Structure 1
Amino acid sequence: MTKRAESKYKINRRLGENLWGRPKSPVNRREYGPGQHGQRRKGKVSDFGIQMVAKQKLKGYYGNINERQFRNLYAEAVRRKGDTGENLIGLLEQRLDAVVYRLKFVPTVFAARQLVNHGHVKVNGRRVNISSYQVKVGDVIELTNRAKEMALVMEATQSSEREVPDYLSLDAQKFQATYVRVPGLSDVPYPVQMEPNLVVEFYSR
């Protein structure tokens, strides 16, 4: 099981946004940050601060990815042809844990990471237990027979909280899907506004 240093909802409150659009988020009731100083009036935010928040939102949304992994994804996005911000979103959406979350096999991206790490997900018929594994176009993703019977999975797949995006082709009866194409920013159903262009500016300083 992956270790997380802070509650996922604390990320929400620190950023002041409901990152995953979940009805349970405390931001729905308290928009100020956590802790005794959370309600202090915020001063004017610098350009650097705005860029930093954009990076924290993107990192937090995908399960609070550590800085080394995130920087490596950015470096790969720069290396590829095309718009760096769009490339970064595509690489994040190709992470296996992100794909499992998008397919509604689990309720949260943190649960998706745990499901992958515990060996309950197969890619092209082979078990993959690395959550950062990069799924390619045409890859077939499916759950193991044991995972299909989990209460968490059954509940998530029947939930109407989210929809499966069209860059994934899902056979809900078989708990199996095909990765159709790499999405761009406009294709990804983020509940909040993401600004990868500001992340690019942050790392380009």
Structure 2
Amino acid sequence: MTKRTAAKYKIDRRMGENIWGRAKSPVNKREYGPGQHGQRRKQKLSDFGTQLRAKQKLKGYYGDLTEKQFRRIYAEAVRVRGDTGENLIGLLERRLDAVVYRAKFVPTIFASRQFINHGHVTVNGKPVNIASYRVKEGDVIAVRERSRQLAIVLEAVGLAERDVPDYIDADHNKMTATFVRTPELGDVPYAVVMEPNLVVEFYSR
């Protein structure tokens, strides 16, 4: 299980962007970084700094993955035929925690990881408690019947600030979601601009 090393809103402030589009993000009020020197950090970034920031933003978005985890996913994206940046996004979106979050079964990506770890989710009828589990096209992800009335689930389903993308077919009456297809970058409903091409440049140095 990945240890969450930073509060989600601190990630927002460090990036200077509301990366999940949350109404409660402090960036909506304070666009500078955390800490006593946060307001001094507005200098122009170098090419390396821009690439590093793109990597940190994408890594943070998916629950602040560890560098080891993220590097492993990137290495796999390189091995797959096609555009490495697009492959990277596709692999990240196929993580079970990302699918549970996209299906609006939970309010945040961090909650998704905990929800899965606690045994509330099945894939094709079988319990799966590994957040990094990779779903395949056609897989059916469901909230276990005993977990469907949890407050966190009811809160998420009612969230108006995000919609379920079209590559996931969610049924909130049955609390199931089918992973229809692997998305491309343009299909993913990021609240801010993500630049996987800069991530590729960072690792290709």
Structure 2 length-normalised TM = 0.98
Question: 1:3: how far off?
Answer: 3.3
Counterpart of 2:3 in structure 1 is 3
1:152 has 2:152 as partner = yes
Counterpart of 1:33 in structure 2 is 33
Q: Please tell me the residue identity of whatever aligns with 2:163.
A: E
CA distance in 1, matches of 2:51, 2:158: 37
Counterpart of 1:42 in structure 2 is 42
CA distance in 2, matches of 1:3, 1:203: 24
CA distance in 2, matches of 1:27, 1:180: 34
Question: 1:54: how far off?
Answer: 0.1
Question: 1:2: how far off?
Answer: 5.5
Aligned-residue RMSD, C-alpha: 1.0
Aligned residues: 205
Asked if the contact 1:139/1:178 (under 8 Å) is kept, the reply is yes
CA distance in 1, matches of 2:41, 2:167: 42
The CA deviation string for residues 73-93 of structure 1, in whole angstroms up to 9 with x for no partner, is 001100001000000000000
Asked if the contact 2:2/2:65 (under 8 Å) is kept, the reply is no
Asked if the contact 2:93/2:183 (under 8 Å) is kept, the reply is yes
CA distance in 1, matches of 2:8, 2:128: 24
Which stretch shows the higher mean deviation, 42-51 or 78-87?
42-51
Question: 1:43: how far off?
Answer: 2.4
Which stretch shows the higher mean deviation, 15-24 or 154-163?
154-163
Question: 1:198: how far off?
Answer: 0.2
Counterpart of 1:186 in structure 2 is 186
Counterpart of 2:127 in structure 1 is 127
Question: 1:41: how far off?
Answer: 4.9
> What is the 5 A alignment of 1:12-161?
12-161=12-161
Counterpart of 2:197 in structure 1 is 197
Q: Percent identity?
A: 70
Question: 1:107: how far off?
Answer: 0.6
Q: Please tell me the residue identity of whatever aligns with 2:43.
A: G
Asked if the contact 1:16/1:27 (under 8 Å) is kept, the reply is yes
Asked if the contact 2:4/2:63 (under 8 Å) is kept, the reply is no
Asked if the contact 1:2/1:114 (under 8 Å) is kept, the reply is no
Asked if the contact 1:10/1:34 (under 8 Å) is kept, the reply is yes
CA distance in 1, matches of 2:145, 2:7: 30
CA distance in 2, matches of 1:22, 1:74: 27
Cα 1:41–1:109 change in 2 (3 A) is: closer
Which stretch shows the higher mean deviation, 37-46 or 145-154?
37-46
Unaligned 5+ runs, structure 2 = none
The CA deviation string for residues 69-128 of structure 1, in whole angstroms up to 9 with x for no partner, is 100100110000100000000000000000000000011000000000111110011111
Asked if the contact 2:32/2:41 (under 8 Å) is kept, the reply is no
